[in-house]
Amino acid sequence: MLRTRSESSSLLPWLVVGFGFMALALTFSARATLGLVMPVWTQEFGWSRSFVSGAAATALLVMAAVAPFAGRLVDRRGVRVTLISGLALVGGGCLIVSATSNSFVFLIAFSGISAIGFGIVATHVVSTAIARLFAHDRGLATGIATSGATGGQFLIVPLIAVVLTTFSWRWSFLSIGVGCFLILPFLWRTLATSEAFAAAPIAGSSSSSLSADIVSIVAKPAFHILFWSFLLCGYTTAGVIETHFLPYASFCGFGPVPSAAAYGALSAVNMLGMIAAGWLTDRVNRAVLLGSIYLARGLAFVILMNVGVDFDMLMAFAVFFGAVDYATVPVTASLVASHLGLRVMGLSMGLISAGHAVGAASGAFMGGYLVDLTTRYDWIWLSSLALTVGAGLMAFTLRDRPEQTVLAA
């Protein structure tokens, strides 16, 4: 019996890794579906790309507002309550979107209800839970769990594209909503076993107020480097790629299925990139690794600007960009843990993720605005190239502190 209990305890952290992956897969697929159906809405409802992009930007701003509180929630209540609450909101919003043709209802459902869920079921919540569970192989575990943000879409988004082509866009959102609710009971029951272990607070975590912790975090130079680089990261990933890659593929003449196939390839490689980055995080200078990832992402935008009508070039971009897309997440999470401390990691990651969401909102809105203004995508990709290089240069200024400082923080 003692051996069985020991084995069960050793599996608890990996259960959180698995369910973190699954929750992120569903949530990020819901966000990606918006870009997939944007051209359909333009034709069916006459909604401009600026309007739909504005809805995406609004959702990202809501996520920015929710992110710090979601981080605090996982610090105080654990991963089970946090993920369940967020997935219920995501699923409910998607079901409402699938049933409406009214632009105002769509905004309330997607940019309000689902957006709150997006802010809760996010990489910073999952990475915080993982960091507090793993003393060893933390980077690898974080990379695997957070790779659900993209890896899960390898199958889900192409399936959604098939549903869109075979039936209608309504079935696309309906499928995501139903999927979120189907997984809730399973998550609740399974994670109940590990809840006490997963939610165990760090010593002293409840002794200070929210405002005092924010002041302490913001006073550290490392926070500003990580915050502003991650804000620019948001512009170049969740902002322009998640919102405008699929419409851009359609603009280039590719249909929904090949476009989704390219996005699926991006997501699959993204998963491998996040896991590889997590593995490297435990072994190399993290500041150099983070800066190198940003610079490599800049090269990917050069490829994207030369896609034209060549599907092979589209796939080449998808593979190259996927390798360095969300690879910044496990590295940034590790740096937050060591530079800002595990005691306030949820809040710290929430604040930094809020910056990511603000950057993403800017990219989503500016992308739609610039396309409506110029009828071209060149300026979106050029701005992304410049900003991601800037993020890389900022990351290089950060020192890589020993991992031992985590416990003392």
Tell which residue, 290, 295, 298, has the closest CA to residue 240.
298
Q: Is the pLDDT of residue 402 over 60?
A: no
Note if the pTM is more than 0.85: no
**Do 333 and 349 form a contact (C-beta atoms < 8 A)?**
yes
Q: What is the mean pLDDT of the chain?
A: 84
Most confident range, picked from 113-122, 143-152, 159-168? 113-122
**Do 238 and 363 form a contact (C-beta atoms < 8 A)?**
yes
Q: Could you read off the pLDDT of 17-38 as tens digits, one per residue?
A: 888 888 888 898 888 788 778 8
Instruction: Determine the pLDDT at residue 1.
Output: 39
Mean pLDDT to the nearest integer, 86-99: 94
Mean pLDDT to the nearest integer, 231-250: 89
Q: Is the pLDDT of residue 233 over 90?
A: yes
| Tokens of residue 37, six digits | 């159906």
Instruction: Determine the pLDDT at residue 207.
Output: 59
- On the 0-12 / 13-18 / 19+ scale of CB atoms within 10 A, 9 is exposed
| Tokens of residue 255, six digits | 């249909």
**Do 171 and 163 form a contact (C-beta atoms < 8 A)?**
yes
Domains and CATH numbers, the chain: 2-197+208-408 (1.20.1250.20)
Instruction: Determine the pLDDT at residue 7.
Output: 46
390: confidence class by pLDDT, cuts 50, 70, 90: very high
For residues 65, 66, 71, 74, the Cα torsion angle rounded to the nearest 10 degrees is: 170
Instruction: Determine the pLDDT at residue 341.
Output: 85
**Do 249 and 377 form a contact (C-beta atoms < 8 A)?**
no
Separation of alpha carbons 130 and 282, rounded Å: 14
Q: Is the pLDDT of residue 208 over 50?
A: yes
Q: Is the pLDDT of residue 73 over 60?
A: yes
Window from 79-88, 150-159, 206-215 with minimum mean pLDDT: 150-159
